[in-house]
Structure 1
Amino acid sequence: MVSAKKHVPIVKKRTKRFARHQSDRFMRVDPSWRKPKGIDSRVRRRFRGTQAMPSIGYGTNKKTRYMMPSGHKAFLVNNTKDVELLLMHNRTYAAEYDHPLVPRKEGKQQELANMDPRIAHGVSSRKRVDIIARAKQLGVKVTNSKAKVTTEV
């Protein structure tokens, strides 16, 4: 297996999710973030002692954004041809079978240099064996190579 390219240390400025204002007080208020819009809202006006609002300053370094701790980026693989795409990018990406950790945006093409190969969730165990074998030949890392392939003891 090929190790990842050298990169600056991965630093997450914030790992806690931003909670919606007053979601801790009421069960009916879902914790998923919504921007406060009220004219008197203390959170919107950024008073001291209130919860933080998401802003551009919390963003992660562009060079390490979406990187896994191994230094690779995720790439969703559906068949062996997808693995062959990673032949020249095996130090940047790693293949994976499961659902992607990073939400993909419809309509936008993502560059190969930003992903880690993963095998898609719906790929059968027979195809997974073929994908793993081809990835081994090409020296491509598959992050969840044991998923749906090994049996429970």
Structure 2
Amino acid sequence: MTIEDIVGGDSELIRKLSDEGISNADELKERLSVPEKADELRQKLGVDSKTVEEWKEKLETEHEEEEESEVPEQKDGNGYRAHAKPALTPDLARALRVRKELSLRRPDFLRAEYYKADRLGTKWRKPRGKQGKMRLAVYYRPKLVSKGYGSPAAARHLHPSGFAERIVHNVSELEGVDPKTTAVRIAHSVGTRKRKDIIAEAERLQIRVLNG
């Protein structure tokens, strides 16, 4: 991907980028990776934050496509092959990044007064006490579950790699699986012989097996 592809062929922006010593996508990506430098560059170019975010998404998408097209190295003659990666749209790739960032900041949701008895456990239960301080959201009690802590809808229920998951019990259930968007997980009840058959067929169809 060239600078022209990223900025949409805007000759004035290309000239300003050249004046800043940026002549290719790698140099632009390096500058945008540092928030302070990215903000400084944005002001010099006279563009808004949304435009800069779009550039970052294009650069990130290009990086992911390059990873998918890489030829995996051979190790010790065992024919090591990298895991298949999904075909992600820019919007979905961004949603996955946002989900990851949110999950790092999301608090642990604990059961009210779990510390008073071991038998209660810490698993979340909605507090219902009329005068319960946790139900009243008093600041010194654990946080309540609320929709504000949710993940982007586009990335919900997806594997961290970006694949949608499907449970399979036999070889026939691999039919109709799109290897670009869906990965399979072999059910825990499947025996060794059938598991080997599923893995072999999945490799033939270039379908990723998450627990193979």
TM-score greater than 0.5 by the shorter chain: yes
- What is the CA distance between 1:125 and its match in structure 2? 1.2
Aligned counterpart in structure 2 of residue 74 of structure 1, from 145, 158, 165? 165
Q: Are positions 1:135 and 2:202 aligned together? A: yes
Equivalent-residue separation in structure 1 for 2:175 and 2:157 (angstroms)? 22
Q: Are positions 1:90 and 2:157 aligned together? A: no
Aligned counterpart in structure 1 of residue 121 of structure 2, from 26, 30, 33? 30
**Offset from partner CA, 1:76-130 (integer Å, 9 cap, x none):** 11011111121xx212211xxxxxxxxxxxxxxxxxxxxxx11111112111121
Aligned counterpart in structure 1 of residue 191 of structure 2, from 104, 107, 124? 124
Equivalent-residue separation in structure 1 for 2:144 and 2:172 (angstroms)? 43
> Which consecutive residues of structure 1, in runs of 5 or more, have no partner in the other structure?
95-116, 146-153
- Kept in 1: contact 2:171–2:198 (CA 8 A): yes
- Kept in 2: contact 1:84–1:138 (CA 8 A): no
Aligned to 2:86: 4
> Which consecutive residues of structure 2, in runs of 5 or more, have no partner in the other structure?
1-82
Equivalent-residue separation in structure 2 for 1:17 and 1:91 (angstroms)? 34
Higher-RCO chain (CA-CA 8 Å, sequence separation at least 6): 1
The secondary structure found in structure 2 opposite 1:74 is strand
Aligned to 1:103: none
Larger strand proportion of the pair? 1
Larger helix proportion of the pair? 2
Identity rate, percent: 32
Aligned to 1:54: 145
Change (3 A) 1:64 1:55: same
The secondary structure found in structure 2 opposite 1:28 is helix
RMSD: 1.8
Aligned length: 121
Structure 1 or 2, whichever has the larger Rg, is 2
State the TM-score, normalizing by the size of structure 1. Answer: 0.71
Equivalent-residue separation in structure 1 for 2:142 and 2:199 (angstroms)? 46
4+ runs of 1 displaced by more than 6 Å? none
- What is the CA distance between 1:67 and its match in structure 2? 2.1
Once the two structures are overlaid, the 10-residue window that deviates more, 13-22 or 26-35, is 13-22
